[in-house]
Amino acid sequence: MSLTPIFAAVQEASRQLPALSDARINQVLEAVADAALAQTEHILSENRKDLARMDPANPKYDRLKLTEERLKGIASDMRNVASLPSPLGRVLKDNVLPNGLHIRRVSVPFGVIGIIYEARPNVTFDVFSLCLKSGNACVLKGGSDADCSNRAIIGIIRQVLEAFGLSPHVAELLPADRESTAQLLHAEGYVDLLIPRGSGELIRFVRQNASIPVIETGAGICHTFFDRTGDLKKGAAIVNNAKTRRVSVCNALDCLLVDKERLPDLPALCAPLQQSHVLIYADEQAQAALNGHYPADLLLPSVPESYGTEFLDYKMAVKTVGSLEEALAHIRRYGSKHSESIVTEDSGHAARFCRDVDAACVYVNAPTSFTDGAQFGLGAEIGISTQKLHARGPMGLEEITTYKWVIEGNGQIRK
């Protein structure tokens, strides 16, 4: 089945949105939050149908599961998005040229944003609210595991849209099959931006196959370099926080680099990790330093695959380096340009690290676990970009707008 008529309907619906005031958008978002709570039972009963089809031992089960508590959190997140300043109509440049032309660069919606995601029904509410707040219509392609939940949620959203006199096509949920993904990747002229959220495999597939503009989100292979002058107390807290705050997220620490002069401090640096039973893959020198100080059953020799791996688990590699230069070279080779940190009291090294590490987020004396839209003060986050085009790192509302040039004249002509 060709989805072109659906894409065309969403595009048509998106054209209503620039005329909506921010106050009106916020009313819609508040009303969707209200409806989500009022229809909690309906959503949960549809969610149970999805859950019944999944093995509770599947790690996706917990992410698929909605509860009354989680729906309250979702509604509260939507009200939070409503409370944020509008990302639209910002005047990014404003000049009067010598010929009298008044030229402004003004933020505007993209139009239609496509999102491909996996079995997390909360994303449906989340993405809709960020898209609407930024004046965009959205085409959602959710995971088949969550299809009953997603249909229930989109149904509620569309009831509210219609109650406000808006086209229900402002939010469209595609059939949860591969054919939908294939067509969405080539929705040229209809979908202005595509954001895949999910596994590395999904994102790779999108990058390889899309012919419309894409923002990649995804893998973080994150390092922390404990420099020759690093403060041990700060370092131990930073490493522990970066590794163990939440191991399943892309900003979690994967590899600790340690200056060889500081090997005697490695046991203290790693000591807090014992509490979380972090398994360490250490190179020969680091292993010698840790031996007898770190639980033997949690200490293994590193192998080549220990480096450049995103563990998403209570596991970490440790690598000894001879200098800042060696640390930079290791990060260049194995990092994924997501988040990298240095622990140092040497301001020259800090500056070199910030300049020479090519990553979305570079940290001095702070853990990579801060890479997050809310932590960065963006108010909300639609994803963390791992590409350099358009947006890098955490993306908030501003990052899902584009701009137009508005030029006002009085009959000037170009020589």
The 8-class DSSP code of residue 116 comes to E
Residue numbers 331-360 binding its own copies by CB under 8 A? 332, 350, 354-356, 358-360
Stretch that binds its own copies, among 25-33, 118-126, 252-260, 398-406 (CB under 8 A): 398-406
Nearest to 324 by CA among 308, 302, 340: 340
Q: Listing from the earlier edge strand, what are the strands of the sheet with 171-173?
A: 171-173, 137-141, 112-116, 193-196
C-beta of 262: minimal distance to its own copies in Å? Answer: 16
Q: Interior CA angle at 355 toward 352 and 361, to 5°?
A: 115
- Spatial contact of 137 and 131, defined as CB atoms under 8 Å apart: yes
Q: Of 142, 218, 335, 367, which one interacts with its own copies (CB under 8 A)? A: 367
Q: Is 375 in the site for its own copies (CB under 8 A)?
A: yes
For 53, 196, 273, 299, the CA distances from 175, given in Å and listed in that order, are 18, 16, 44, 47
Stretch that binds its own copies, among 119-127, 139-147, 284-292, 405-413 (CB under 8 A): 405-413
Residues in the chain: 415
The 8-class DSSP code of residue 291 comes to B
C-beta of 392: minimal distance to its own copies in Å? Answer: 6
Stretch that binds its own copies, among 14-22, 26-34, 43-51, 76-84 (CB under 8 A): 14-22
Q: Give the count of alpha carbons within 13 A of 245, CB side only.
A: 15
- The residue among 85 and 405 lying less far from its own copies, judged by its C-beta, is 405
**Strand 102-109 versus strand 253-259 pairing type:** unpaired
* H-run or E-run covering 322: none
Q: Of 53, 233, 277, 293, which one interacts with its own copies (CB under 8 A)? A: 233
- Binding-site size, its own copies (CB under 8 A): 68
Residues of this chain that bind its own copies (CB under 8 A): 15, 18-19, 95, 97, 101, 103, 110-111, 188, 192-193, 207-208, 211, 213-215, 231, 233-234, 237-238, 240-241, 245, 332, 350, 354-356, 358-367, 369-372, 375-377, 387-390, 392-394, 402-414
